[in-house]
Amino acid sequence: MKLGLGYPPGCLLHPFVLRFTTTSMAPELDFFRNGALLVDKTGARIDAPAAELALKTADHRDKIGFVILDGALAQRYSKWPDLIATAPGVAYSYFDDFRKSRPDLFFTSNSIAGLAD
């Protein structure tokens, strides 16, 4: 993968790699250890050690999880060294990368009720 990524111009490659990391790569475990929460479609918390969250999500009926975080955590995960997702050695994704590249997955609100809507 590294070899193939070395040839195309960055301006053509960057959107593809960014979309890959914001769609296909699971969030880093430290993201949850540092305060991000995972909830199911009903808003119930998916509670497990960070390393087991994917398995716990699979136990839920729709197998869908939503990450909830506050502004402080969003700020922290907007720059190095705190990244949300990575394709190791290839690309890193931060908070704003999800906001920009995946508006279909990104929701904001000033309240939990607003997020539920």
The string of pLDDT tens digits covering residues 37-90 is: 999 988 889 999 988 998 999 988 888 899 999 999 999 999 999 999 987 767
Half-sphere exposure of 29 (CA within 13 A, CB side): 7
**pLDDT at residue 116, as a whole number:** 82
pTM of structure: 0.77
Predicted pLDDT at 76 = 97
As to burial, measured by CB atoms within 10 angstroms (0-12 exposed, 13-18 middle, 19+ buried), residue 1 is exposed
